[in-house]
Chain A
Amino acid sequence: MEDQELTQEIKPPTNTKGAARWLKDNLFDTWYNAILTCLALVCLFFALKGFLTWAFTEAEWDVIPANFRLFMVGSYPQEQIWRVWNAIYILSALMGLSAGLWGGLVFRFAVALSGVWFISALLPVELSTRGWCLGAIAMIAVSFFLGRGRTGLRPWILGGWILSFPVIMVVLRGFGENGVLTSNWGGLLLTLILAVVGIVVSFPLGVFLALCRQSDLPAIRWVSTTYIETVRGVPLITILFMGNVLIPIFMPGLDINQVLRMMFGITFFSAAYMAENVRGGLQGIPRGQHEAAQAVGLNYVQTTLFIVLPQALRSVIPAIVGQFIALFKDTSLVAIIGLIDLLGVARSIINNPDWLGLQAEVYLFAAVIYFIFCYAMSYASQDVETGLGIGHI
């Protein structure tokens, strides 16, 4: 623990091991710490006792398995569910290959993901689902061994990740009437799609806005600043309401469905925040870097692409990941507008007369899912942060 260094003197190396020693150092080193420990233990005991008693005796967890499909994919039709699995398989293959190529963090995520599929296969689910789950594990494992050591594949796989986004959208949607209308997308699937679309589109938009705001051409700077500050001044829910009400007014001819409207709202909102994060990085680039690039003869576009952005983006990775986490959580607001995302599913189950009075169980389950994704992202961010040492002053 890094916190420990701050508040603790380094003890002589004798007798530093052992539970008793650890207890004394960390919990009972002074009389007030001893009192604090006891108080905290008492509080913790009652809180845990209350929670566990509820969780194991009163709570009716049946509601979760009974509605599991709803939580995951909403009203995505059962006979088309293979589309979702295909999307998962594409991602699994990329994940496995990346794990083989890069190792480290990606490998850990691949292992964790395989673990999730393995546990899912052990749960009392339909036989076909069990098959799909095991298949996903196989997919990850096979592609892992395929990718291992072949560093030449790296740029291809990166391209593959970028390409996978439109491909997966097409796989999930299908074509025309035979496909699955976006209005049928729901649950965790919809949450993830909204978040990924928001992230993928708002990132370049945010970089563009940040560059505009840092431009030395006043007109461009003003327009960008006005946009960024206006959007940042307003709550997301207002923007979503606006998207919902105003897009049909502004674009009378086009029939833009609600999922798409929410994507617009989330993206334009997130881009303004992304722009501010990127701007922080841009401001951190010393003037000398621009001058050196000019002296070598690079023009504005080249300077931006090869010198400024690589450094600026690298320095703001933690802030950008923070922004991604915020965006992921913010997608839950579409439930207010009436989309059935993960939170929307939770709300609809609670209002279902079959499952009355199970608010705590349902919301807790949804919370755990949100937590896992957010925590994984912040874990990844910390890992990337520590790996940033090289090539950086």
Chain B
Amino acid sequence: MAAQENALNDPIIICEDVHKWFDDFHVLKGITTSFQKGERAVICGPSGSGKSTFIRTLNRLEEHQRGTIIIDGVELTDDLRNINLIRQEVGMVFQQFNLFPHLTNLENITLGPIRVRKLTKTEAEEIALSLLERVNIADQAYKYPAEISGGQQQRVAIARALAMEPKIMLFDEPTSALDPEMISEVLDVMRELAHSGMTMLVVTHEMGFAREVADRIMFFAEGVVIEEAAPADFFDNPQHERTKLFISQTLQH
């Protein structure tokens, strides 16, 4: 497939037959895929298709009940050490930002580096300020999350994830909770990140962003990957009926 052709055949994420149930509800029905280092994958699909659950299993916010997940050579099991290792290598950005409201934006970013990476406060703040610069909100460092706009909060959240110097970034519908005029400022930051070579898995409905940035688009429905292809193929030559329907519906908006 298109993504594999130009890749180095050096997968950083390997998933084999990943299953997940919520009580009796079978959310993930055997996902088998892999992602290359530096690959930018966009995951889309109707709500309830398991796409969010899938990326949440990758840093153990959800536990997969069958199958294997290997991230950067470390298998995700009940081994506490592996879980901690993987969480440090995988950054995550949430739909609702989930910033810590009792900490300033700067403290939000430095918390992980100080407590987990054991950096000194000065080192952590230096990193945080340069990251805030990178996401274009250095002037908001000493404000609280409640005092800035949604788009700015999401950018702080991205900076917070980057501060852990992850190898992989997961985005769980990062623009869905934003007002329309703020979506582009977040997408700009993500675009810049993509160009820097970060491995990114993005769950999103922003099809323009997908077409422009993604190496590969995966289409989820009812817990399985129905179709995956490079953006050009995906949009212009969809194979599946479900995919066609989905594309026609999303592009109408």
Contact = CB atoms under 8 A, between A and B. Distances in A.
Interface of A: 286, 288-289, 291-299, 302, 306-307, 310-311, 314, 390-393
A392 B59 CA distance: 28
Interface string B110-124: 011001100000000
B88 A297 contact: yes
Contacts of A294: 59-61, 87
B209 interface: no
B111 A295 contact: no
B195 interface: no
15 contacts: A286-B98, A291-B94, A292-B157, A295-B59, A295-B91, A296-B87, A296-B160, A298-B116, A311-B102, A314-B102, A391-B144, A392-B101, A392-B102, A393-B145, A393-B146
Interface of B: 59-61, 84, 87-88, 90-92, 94, 96, 98-104, 111-112, 115-116, 144-146, 157, 160-161, 164
Majority SS of interface residues in chain A?
helix
A296 B102 contact: no
Contacts of A288: 94, 96, 98
Given A289-B100, A295-B87, A297-B164, A390 B59 contact: no
B141 to A, nearest CB: 14
A296 B94 contact: no
Contacts of B92: 291-292, 295
B116 A296 contact: yes
A299 B91 CA distance: 15
B170 to A, nearest CB: 8
Contacts of A297: 84, 87-88, 112, 116, 164
Nearest to A391: B144
Nearest to B90: A295
A304 B61 CA distance: 17
Given A390-B144, A391-B146, A295 B161 contact: yes
A296 B59 contact: no
Contacts of B98: 286, 288-289, 291-292
Given A288-B94, A288-B96, A296-B112, A393 B87 contact: no
A311 B101 CA distance: 8
A291 to B, nearest CB: 5
Contacts of A286: 96, 98
Contact of B102 (A291, A292, A391): A391
A21 to B, nearest CB: 41
A295 B100 CA distance: 13
Which of B59, B87, B101 has most A Cβ within 10 Å? B101
B61 A295 contact: yes
A286 B111 CA distance: 19
Contacts of B111: 296, 298, 306
A392 B116 contact: no
Contacts of B99: 292
Given A292-B157, A306-B111, A306-B115, 4 more contacts: A288-B94, A292-B98, A293-B100, A393-B145
A138 to B, nearest CB: 39
A314 B103 CA distance: 13
B112 A291 contact: no
Contacts of A298: 111-112, 115-116
Contacts of A293: 100
Nearest to B85: A297
B100 to A, nearest CB: 6
Contact of A291 (B61, B144, B145, B146): B61
B115 A302 contact: yes
Contacts of B116: 296-298, 302
Contacts of B88: 297
A314 to B, nearest CB: 7
B22 to A, nearest CB: 14
Nearest to A310: B102
B94 A292 contact: yes
A313 to B, nearest CB: 10
A107 to B, nearest CB: 25
A267 B164 CA distance: 43
A292 to B, nearest CB: 4
A262 to B, nearest CB: 37
Leading 7 A-B pairs by shortest Cβ distance: A292-B98, A296-B112, A288-B98, A295-B92, A297-B116, A391-B144, A297-B87
Nearest to B144: A391
